């Protein structure tokens, strides 16, 4: 296999490894070899921590994906190409790239239809059994790396991953200009979904969250309006309360019969219920947040209102290039989301910080191995 590289093949590949539930360590892993002539090897520059990384660390599974052997963590990354397979045409050694962390089979019906996020044979970074990007080097298909413009830095390139998640959410919603959009959740994915909705031409974007601090940030970031729902009174029926919250949102923001589009980015049961109640007849409800696996869902309301209900996962055709453009153009300012930065050697501290879920911590970034 012919290839090009800027450096001699290194003999060390420091990696941050999840060995078992609640058991992480730094290890020297072998430098990964290109698996075919279409792959590139990337020297990882920056990696954001996602809730799923923490979830695997603490619980060892997400749905059907179960940790059965050690894996390298991390999947929100950027880096520099240091080796390219002989048949790579879109990249060269030295290119700075955003890494799309899931490479599908390309052959199944889902892939051929463009919905490769549903492919059963996807190699997705830091999803068991596949290694992630929190190492010095990572190899990936060249067409799942996206060259970034010179004015974008590596932190911004790493943040393209969560922006792509938000792009997919709005794509699933078939979000159009001049629509009213209610977004439940003002965490990273929530505010990015608000920003993408706004960039897509939404007439009014309303953020809902139980944290005033996060709502204040959302209002300064992309939301036109914010709503802090009242607490559930002792002894009150939760579903009735959620319906009242939805009525308050519709009344306060002049939504009439309801919002055109609801994006649920929390996974919290009260938000799911309120989201169904706040949608107008014929409206669209997209579930992106994942919390409890089973919830009480107002299905009769969803039927009577003829809602279109969809789930959103990862990203599909066109999402990553769109996300790169949104960040590069300044329409989505990802730097404002980064609240904490750590060296690679401090990765465990970074994960502990995310696990603590402090209100002032928004997005945590880990710098790659230097040298």
By DSSP bridging, strand 96-99 and strand 76-85 are: antiparallel
In a domain, 98, yes or no: yes
Residue with tokens 């939301």: 223
In a domain, 328, yes or no: no
268 in Cβ contact with 295 (< 8 Å) = no
Domain that holds residue 231: 165-311
In a domain, 343, yes or no: yes
In 3D space, the residue among 97, 77, 31 whose CA is nearest the CA of residue 366 turns out to be 77
By DSSP bridging, strand 123-124 and strand 102-103 are: antiparallel
> 212-243 pLDDT, tens per residue?
999 999 999 999 999 999 999 999 999 999 99
Q: What is the 3-state secondary structure (H, E, C) of 305-368?
A: CCCEEEECCCCCCCHHHHHHHHHHHCCCCHHHHEEEEECHHHHHHHHHHHHHCCCCCCEEEEEC
**Are residues 135 and 264 both part of a single domain?**
no
Residue with tokens 């996807």: 122
β-bridge partners, 352? none
Task: List, in order, residues 6 or more apart from 315 with CB less than 8 Å away.
Answer: 100, 102, 117, 164, 165, 167, 168, 323
Residue with tokens 């939504």: 255
368 in Cβ contact with 135 (< 8 Å) = no
**Are residues 181 and 145 both part of a single domain?**
no
Element (H, E) at 78: strand 76-85
**Are residues 198 and 300 both part of a single domain?**
yes
Would residue 307 be called left, alpha or beta, if left means φ above 0 and alpha means ψ between -120 and 50 degrees?
Answer: beta
**Are residues 100 and 198 both part of a single domain?**
no
**Are residues 151 and 7 both part of a single domain?**
yes
> 24-33 pLDDT, tens per residue?
999 999 999 9
In a domain, 324, yes or no: no
**Are residues 117 and 236 both part of a single domain?**
no
DSSP 239-258: HHHHHHHHHHHHHHTT-TT-
**Are residues 363 and 276 both part of a single domain?**
no
**Are residues 258 and 273 both part of a single domain?**
yes
**Are residues 239 and 102 both part of a single domain?**
no
DSSP code of residue 104:
-
**Are residues 246 and 304 both part of a single domain?**
yes
Say how far residue 308 (Cα) sits from the centre of its chain: 23
Question: How far apart (Å, rounded) are the C-alpha atoms in residues 143 and 69?
Answer: 28
**Are residues 125 and 77 both part of a single domain?**
yes
In a domain, 318, yes or no: no
127 in Cβ contact with 65 (< 8 Å) = yes
pLDDT tens, residue order, the chain (371 aa): 444 544 445 579 999 999 999 999 999 999 999 999 999 999 999 999 998 899 899 999 888 889 999 999 999 999 999 999 999 999 999 999 999 999 999 999 999 999 999 999 999 999 999 999 999 999 999 999 999 999 999 999 999 999 999 999 999 999 999 999 999 999 999 999 999 999 999 999 999 999 999 999 999 999 999 999 999 999 999 999 999 999 999 999 999 999 999 999 999 999 999 999 999 999 999 999 998 989 999 999 999 999 999 999 999 999 999 999 999 999 999 999 999 999 999 999 999 999 998 888 999 999 999 97
**Are residues 179 and 284 both part of a single domain?**
yes
Structural domain count of the chain: 2
CA distances from 83 to 4, 132, 149 (A): 5, 18, 20
In a domain, 27, yes or no: yes
In a domain, 174, yes or no: yes
In a domain, 321, yes or no: no
DSSP code of residue 370:
P
* pTM more than 0.85: yes
Give the CATH number for residue 48.
3.90.180.10
Count Cα neighbours of 244 within 13 Å in the Cβ-side half-sphere: 11
Question: How far apart (Å, rounded) are the C-alpha atoms in residues 275 and 286?
Answer: 9
């Amino acid at each position: 296999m012919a290839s090009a590289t800027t450096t001699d093949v290194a003999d060390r590949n420091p990696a941050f490894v999840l060995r078992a539930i609640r058991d992480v360590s730094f290890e020297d892993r072998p430098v990964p070899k290109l698996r075919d002539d279409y792959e590139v090897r990337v020297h990882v520059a920056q990696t954001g921590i996602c809730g799923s990384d923490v979830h695997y660390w603490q619980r060892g599974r997400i749905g059907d994906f179960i940790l059965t052997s050690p894996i390298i963590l991390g999947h929100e990354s950027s880096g520099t190409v240091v080796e390219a397979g002989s048949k790579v045409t879109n990249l060269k050694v030295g290119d700075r790239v955003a890494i799309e962390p899931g490479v599908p089979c390309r052959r199944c019906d889902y892939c051929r239809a463009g919905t490769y996020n549903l492919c059963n044979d996807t190699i997705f970074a830091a999803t068991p059994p596949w290694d992630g990007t929190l190492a010095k080097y990572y190899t990936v298909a060249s067409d799942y790396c996206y060259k970034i413009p010179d004015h974008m830095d590596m932190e911004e390139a790493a943040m393209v991953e969560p922006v792509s998640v938000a792009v997919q959410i709005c794509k699933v919603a078939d979000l159009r200009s001049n629509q009213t959009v209610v977004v439940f959740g003002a965490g990273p994915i929530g505010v990015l979904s608000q920003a993408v909705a706004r960039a897509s031409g939404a007439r009014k974007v309303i953020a809902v969250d139980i944290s005033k601090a996060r709502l204040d940030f959302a209002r300064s970031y992309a939301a036109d309006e914010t709503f802090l729902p009242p607490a559930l009174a002792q002894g009150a029926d939760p579903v009735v309360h959620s319906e009242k919250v939805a009525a308050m949102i519709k009344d306060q923001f002049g939504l009439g019969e309801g919002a055109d589009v609801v994006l649920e980015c929390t996974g919290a049961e009260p938000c799911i219920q309120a989201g169904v109640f706040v949608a107008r007849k014929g409206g669209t409800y997209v579930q992106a947040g994942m919390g409890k696996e089973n919830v009480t869902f107002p299905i009769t309301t969803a039927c009577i209102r003829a809602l279109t209900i969809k789930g959103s996962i990862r990203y599909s055709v066109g999402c990553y290039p769109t996300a790169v453009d949104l960040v590069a153009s300044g329409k989505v300012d990802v730097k404002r989301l980064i609240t904490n930065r750590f060296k690679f050697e401090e990765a465990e501290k970074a994960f502990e910080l995310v696990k603590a879920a402090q209100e002032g911590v928004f997005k945590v970034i880990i710098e790659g191995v230097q040298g």
